[in-house]
Structure 1
Amino acid sequence: MSVDLKKIPYSILELATVSAGSNPSATFKNSLHLAQKAEELGYTRFWLAEHHNMVSIASSATAVLIGHIAGGTKTIKVGSGGIMLPNHSPLIVSEQFGTLGSLYPGRIDLGLGRAPGTDQVTAHAIRSDRMQAVYKFPDEVQQIQQYFSPSNSTAKVRATVAEGVDVPIYILGSSTDSAHLAAKLGLPYAFASHFAPAQLFEALNIYYNNFQPSAQLKEPYTMACINVIAAPTNEEALRISTSLIRMMLGVMTGKIDYMQPPTEYTADLKALAENPAFERMLKFSFVGDKEKVKQSTMDFIEKTGVNEVVTVSHIYDHNDRLRSFEIFSEIMKGQ
């Protein structure tokens, strides 16, 4: 049975990627412009990632960027995809997102993950006791829930700006550990299949089979990320995708650089893209014209059964990126 794409919410995960020849200031302007276009195109939410010590990614101060995006849009949900909780104090996160939730009622999402979003040396510089916090991740998620609860008004430690504020929590993950936690707490679950697809199906099965209803969520709700590079022709999409291929090579070799302009899709780049390590990491990368990306997206949703699809697009040129997201919105609208 084919999927009715018009019934599937579609969203964006934004890393605020810095292209060669650009800078964070210009990147932030482009991110806001993209969010405004996404709002017009019917995207459900616009999430910002958290990464550190990477010249190519400017989404470091995630809560600040969320405020910037929410302030420049009107209806689209804006949130974190995610806040890497072991990097932070649960109290501070609660205060930040409680404030955002009051400023932009009903529009702020709090996605929480446990990965560092950087290398180990930088992770230690962020928080020297980070590894202890990793083990406390389940407890700290519940601590944030408590800070948002009106019942915390009698506690000795309060996040007063968060109490009673409606900011839904999402659990992010790239492994089965996060699936167990999301199911136990009865929270929506978002999987990072755009770069770590190996355990996607196992994690989803664990989540569905172990889900316990909660005050926030009565039935399981799943989201999964895919890389999308859509263009008017397959040839143009492949050319644009060369920036992604070179970016991933930098990630895998530890030589991270700015997002480079696209080049011709040479035999060398084709061989690189077909390398088993690349194929494993970018298994759910849909590159092509509207029809090709549509078929790949339908197959993905049919096989996973996810409630919502989240798109990531690593594209050098801002106009090419806008066009890709526009094509994808047409696909999801059945146009």
Structure 2
Amino acid sequence: MKKPKIAYSILDLALVSQDHSLKQTYDGTLQLAQNAEAFGYKRYWLAEHHNAPNIGSSATAVLMGYIAQGTQTIRVGSGGIMLPNHSPLIIAEQFGTLASLYPNRIDLGLGRAPGTDRETAHAIRSDFMQAAHSFPAELEKLETYFSAENAKAKVRATVAEGVDVPIYILGSSTDSAHLAAKKGLPYAFASHFATTHLFEAIKIYREEFQPSKELPEPYVMAGVNVIIADTDEEAEKLATSLIRMIVGIFTGKRDFVQPPTAMTTDLKEIMQHPQVHQMLKYAFIGSKATVKAQVKEFMEQTNADELIAVTNIYDVNDRIHSYKLFAEIMEELH
């Protein structure tokens, strides 16, 4: 029997590049989503992060509405909403509203990390650590607010009751694999930056999976960094912006996304630093032919049901071109 086609999607941070306004950033994000829809991408997810000048997707649900309004068919979702930052009631209301405005197109991906530094997490919610430990219970509350049965309860998210919003569990370690399996929910692993536990987490999820009314069998999404250009040399040049972003994360000096430069010996050495090398283990950088071979190997190793691609580069037109070539790869590999 022919294996089902592997879906391909986008995870975006609405990256704010040097010398670009937020309005330009958001317009570029919509432009990318519209192109992704034309290229055959299944979903366009936005990630919640805070207190980072180079990330524009902090008000995730608001930006999702803008993207959904400007597109027709592509699914729009959160990759993810960091649930411990929020009241489950408010998230149910936000996503219930979105799903009523854009039926059968809204996804709710949930994570338990803060998506920021400790001080900011505390500013968002003073009891963050307690909420993070209560993630499974908070998830239960959220599911209750979406259920039609909650109509008889004292506390209700009336705009969410009975509304179809598929929930996805996001993870970067093995903890979330157990939870996603137990709940019978699809599982998205952040292998675009957290590479260490990928195979262990997938194994746990598949082995422990309990079928649910939402999902009869396991569904694995895996994140990959992808930078594709017409030549290997051009792709390497575009990747210099990503390398500088990563240096900013490790040094605590976050800045706007920098324009690409020639790949230098110094930058190549940074890529070989053990921490950076591990983080970029599933970063596929090069021409279409180069990346195609790497993606094929990754798909064979993980047997993932869907790849979700992250392309962190400076210019929106270069990003669109990279995503076009990635879509071609995914269609050819089917």
Secondary structure of 2:115's partner?
A: coil
Q: Which residue among 1, 6, 15 is the counterpart of 1:8?
A: 6
Look up the match of 2:28. Answer: 30
Q: 2:123, 2:202 → 1: CA distance?
A: 33
Q: Which residue among 93, 100, 103 is the counterpart of 1:102?
A: 100
Q: CA deviation at 1:217?
A: 0.6
Post-superposition CA distance 1:239-276 (Å, at most 9, x none): 11000011100001111111000010111111111111
**TM score, norm. by length of structure 1:** 0.98
Unmatched tracts of structure 1, length 5 or more: none
Q: Which residue among 240, 243, 261 is the counterpart of 1:242?
A: 240
Q: CA deviation at 1:98?
A: 0.4
Structure 1 runs, 4 residues or longer, greater than 3 Å off: none
Q: CA deviation at 1:323?
A: 0.5
Secondary structure of 1:7's partner?
A: coil
| One-letter amino acid of the structure 2 residue matched with residue 125 of structure 1 | A
Q: 1:38, 1:107 → 2: CA distance?
A: 15
Q: 1:199, 1:25 → 2: CA distance?
A: 37
Secondary structure of 2:20's partner?
A: coil
Q: 1:221, 1:8 → 2: CA distance?
A: 11
- 1:52 equivalent to 2:54? Answer no
Unmatched tracts of structure 2, length 5 or more: none
Counting only pairs closer than 5 Å after superposition, residues 116-265 of structure 1 correspond to structure 2 as 116-265=114-263
| One-letter amino acid of the structure 2 residue matched with residue 233 of structure 1 | T
Look up the match of 1:323. Answer: 321
Secondary structure of 1:109's partner?
A: strand
- 1:299 equivalent to 2:292? Answer no
Q: Which residue among 71, 75, 90 is the counterpart of 1:73?
A: 71
Q: 1:142, 1:93 → 2: CA distance?
A: 13
Q: 1:218, 1:164 → 2: CA distance?
A: 20
Q: CA deviation at 1:146?
A: 0.8
Post-superposition CA distance 1:11-54 (Å, at most 9, x none): 00010000000121111000000000000000000000000000
Secondary structure of 1:16's partner?
A: coil
Secondary structure of 1:306's partner?
A: coil
Look up the match of 1:111. Answer: 109
For the aligned residue pairs, the C-alpha RMSD in angstroms reads 1.1
- 1:63 equivalent to 2:61? Answer yes
Look up the match of 2:283. Answer: 285
Q: CA deviation at 1:230?
A: 0.2
